[in-house]
Amino acid sequence: MRPTRTLSGRRVLAVAATAGLLLPLTACGGDSGPKDGPSKPGTGSTASGPPAARLTVLAAASLTDVFKTAGAAYEKAHPGTRITFSFAGSQELVAQVAQGSPADALITADTKSMDKVRADTGTPTVIARNRLVIATAEGNPLKVDELKDLADTRLKVVLAAPEVPAGKYSAKILDAQKITVKPVSQEPNVRAVLSKVELGEADAGLVYRTDAESAKDKVDAVEIPDAQNAVAAYPAATIKDSENAAAAAAFVAWLSSPEAQKILQDAGFQKP
């Protein structure tokens, strides 16, 4: 049974416990308001005045590019609101939430990760889905055409680590096809896998389709048939200890709106 603690005590402990864990936060827009803390939602909501709410959103690394676009669109439609995103592997984000890191919403790349912090979040809603592809160097010089090619020991293959959602999906589809791959490295998030291929440090890697699309001028994407693939689900939820509960709930709800869904699907994500 979870011990009962005051909100302020929980946050003080969390800041100390996670000082080395938190990744740098990336603001999606400028901030003209004061720096002394979040305002209450609904106050000072003019575009030139203090922001109505400053939201911190923890999001899976594979959402990096699309959420920068989505965040800017949301801020434009909600003058005075500012969103700061922290992108990382879902397992890292869940650890931050479990340890009480101050944040307002969480979006992971799988439902199992979200389930681990069920006591700390509101009811999650799946906002998008994704599939895996094989990322290769531009032009696919080594002619990687299908999953079984990844078993070739002459290839330098990189995968996401087993505890990362992309790593779990990769293991699932490789195991189902009875394909043994010996990766040269296992990365802490899917964008790190993509980076290894982009930089030529790996010949191939399993990433989400949207990751390959974001780097289409540097990598090629080899499609994996649906019958051999896995579907990644992205649940979004508010964090119960959020100091901006109403604003956080509004943002999470907006992710299912037609405007947000168009942004997600234009980036290659599939419908929820």
Tell me, yes or no, whether 164 and 243 share the same domain: no
Tell me, yes or no, whether 115 and 19 share the same domain: yes
DSSP codes joined into one string, 205-224? EEEEHHHHHHTTTTEEEEE-
Tell me, yes or no, whether 219 and 254 share the same domain: no
User: Which amino acid, residue 174?
Assistant: L
Tell me, yes or no, whether 118 and 105 share the same domain: yes
pLDDT of residue 89: 96
User: Which amino acid, residue 36?
Assistant: D
Residue 255 lies in a domain: yes
Q: Tens of pLDDT along the chain (272 residues)?
A: 444 444 434 444 344 444 444 444 444 543 433 334 444 444 434 344 335 789 999 999 999 999 999 999 999 999 989 999 999 999 999 999 999 999 999 999 999 999 999 999 999 999 999 999 999 999 999 999 999 999 999 999 999 999 999 999 999 999 999 999 999 999 999 999 999 999 999 999 999 999 999 999 999 999 999 999 999 999 999 999 999 999 999 999 999 999 999 999 999 999 99
Tell me, yes or no, whether 26 and 110 share the same domain: yes
Tell me, yes or no, whether 197 and 242 share the same domain: no
pLDDT of residue 146: 97
Bridge partners, 239 (sequence order): 121
Residue 82 lies in a domain: yes
The backbone torsions φ and ψ at residue 63, rounded to the nearest 5 degrees and listed phi first, read -95, 5
pLDDT of residue 152: 96
Please, what sign has the CA dihedral across residues 255, 260, 261, 265?
Answer: negative
Residue 2 lies in a domain: no
Tell me, yes or no, whether 253 and 188 share the same domain: no
pLDDT of residue 52: 77
Nearest one of 223, 183, 226, 188 to 205, comparing CA atoms: 183
Residue 177 lies in a domain: yes
Residue 136 lies in a domain: yes
Tell me, yes or no, whether 198 and 100 share the same domain: no
Full domain range(s) for residue 26: 7-128+233-266
Residue 271 lies in a domain: no
Query: At 183, which CATH number?
Result: 3.40.190.10
Domain count, the chain: 2
Tell me, yes or no, whether 11 and 124 share the same domain: yes
Tell me, yes or no, whether 63 and 188 share the same domain: no
Residue 124 lies in a domain: yes
Tell me, yes or no, whether 163 and 219 share the same domain: yes
DSSP codes joined into one string, 30-81? ---S-SS-PPPTTSS-STTSS-SEEEEEEEEGGGHHHHHHHHHHHHHHSTTE
- H helices of 107-254, in order, are 111-115, 165-176, 190-198, 209-214, 245-254
Tell me, yes or no, whether 37 and 105 share the same domain: yes
Distance (Å) of CA 212 to CA 25, 40, 60, 169: 23, 39, 16, 16
Residue 144 lies in a domain: yes
